[in-house]
Amino acid sequence: MIAEATPALEREFNPWLAAEARFNNAAEKLGLDDGMRKVLKTPTREITVAIPVMLDDGRLEVFTGYRVQHSIARGPAKGGIRYAPDVTLDEVRALASWMTWKCAVANIPYGGGKGGVICDPNVMSLGELERITRRYTAAIIDFIGPEIDVPAPDMNTNEQTMAWIMDTYSMHNRQTVTAVVTGKPIDLGGSQGRTEATGRGCMIAALEALKRFNLSPSDSSVVVQGFGNVGGMAAKLMSRTGFKINTVIEYDGAVHNNHGLDILKLMQHKKETGSIIDFAEAENVDREEAMFQPCDILIPAAKENVITSQNAHRIRAKILCEGANGPCTAPADEILAANNVFVIPDILANGGGVTVSYFEWVQDRQGFFWNEELVNARLEEIMVNGFHAVTGYGEKHKVDNRTAAYMVALDRVAFAIKLRGIYA
């Protein structure tokens, strides 16, 4: 059951405070001075815009949109845009900072950005979503661009949303500018391999982790929480590689098979019924308890704050591979470390998406496109290098992987800032 909110839990669940706690921990271990800490933690720019939109029923409504550019020290800001009724500026700030650290861990030439619009896309028509997207784009148009800030899809946005943003930006610039966003349709400059990228990155990270336990995929049981683009794709690719996906958890239930689930059949079942429950080749299990069963790999790939100070002690996975952004709260980190859970932190584990977004941006700017085999090979190279950079840092400094990942990221961004100097 979800714990009742208290002031302490509200602070724990605040994504900006969680990002700050992890930042402070890594900065302390790196010995960064106060001035550099201030530069690294302070967003470069925060934009709040009003978005007036004429709804289908003739009413005029005003929505609020955000775009936060956390860092541009290593390159243009990079990060998704989410549409949700509970979007907050603190959430967008936190996600923008996570993008800075994620890009630095992957060692790709981006800073971090994030955007959001407070709306409920579930009750909006396609026409309303297009109008809100185009007006939001127009409102922030002076602050985005291939060399400034490159948005991408996130929660409740997709390649169609990106096509609208690209078109709006291009109309204002009087030329087609495909590199202004990533996550576009293939026919508008999207990249091969982008849909599978985040899930594939999780699989690559999990494969590297298995080597540390002398396990093979066929020896490994997996629990996946979330069966959307990240969790579903990770499960599909891992199953194809030989992993045994025992349990899948969704918002409305969970299914389990001791011998491993047929992921393709489960995907078809979900497509036909709208749910994973009552799958013929599995048993329904309690979704609240399914995450705490013994397994080799647990992949939380749904949302933030699912592993907390209230339940982290119940995790019985050897490896926790974070497919979602922020699935573990900061206080949960200490509990997991004390229980010897090998955590592959989000800023490493789910970096496959932004890495292939980077590939898309490169291809758009070159006007030369790669086949999927090349995309996947280059993704694997970057993910493996990132994994070993983080684990090597952890072993050198005797810290857990989360702290090591932040230390790698802060060190790289701070080094870029020192090389550039402070403009005055």
For the annotated catalytic residues, the residue numbers are 114
167 CB-near residues (< 8 Å, 6+ apart): none
Question: Counting Cβ atoms within 10 Å, is residue 6 exposed (0-12), middle (13-18) or buried (19+)?
Answer: exposed
d(CA 136, CA 247): 40
d(CA 113, CA 244): 36
Distances (CA, A) of 319 to 105, 245, 247, 249: 19, 14, 15, 17
**What interhelical angle do 15-30 and 330-338 show, nearest 10?**
60
| DSSP symbol at 4 | P
Please report where in the chains the tokens 């509200």 appear, as a residue.
10
Written as six digits, the tokens of 332 are 């949960």
Please report where in the chains the tokens 């494969």 appear, as a residue.
207
d(CA 2, CA 311): 10
* Dihedral of the alpha carbons of 138, 14, 392, 198, in degrees to the nearest 10: -50
Written as six digits, the tokens of 78 are 């990079």
Q: For 292-340, give the secondary structure using H, E and C.
A: CCCEEEEEECCCCCCECCCCHHHCCEEEEECCCCCCECHHHHHHHHHCC
Instruction: Note the residue count of the chain.
Output: 424
d(CA 259, CA 173): 56
- Measure CA of the first residue to CA of the last residue in the chain; give whole Å: 53
d(CA 188, CA 231): 26
Q: Cβ(343)–Cβ(300) under 8 Å?
A: no
Written as six digits, the tokens of 301 are 């790939």
Q: Residue 25: which H helix or E strand, with range?
A: helix 15-30
The three-state secondary structure class of 247 is strand
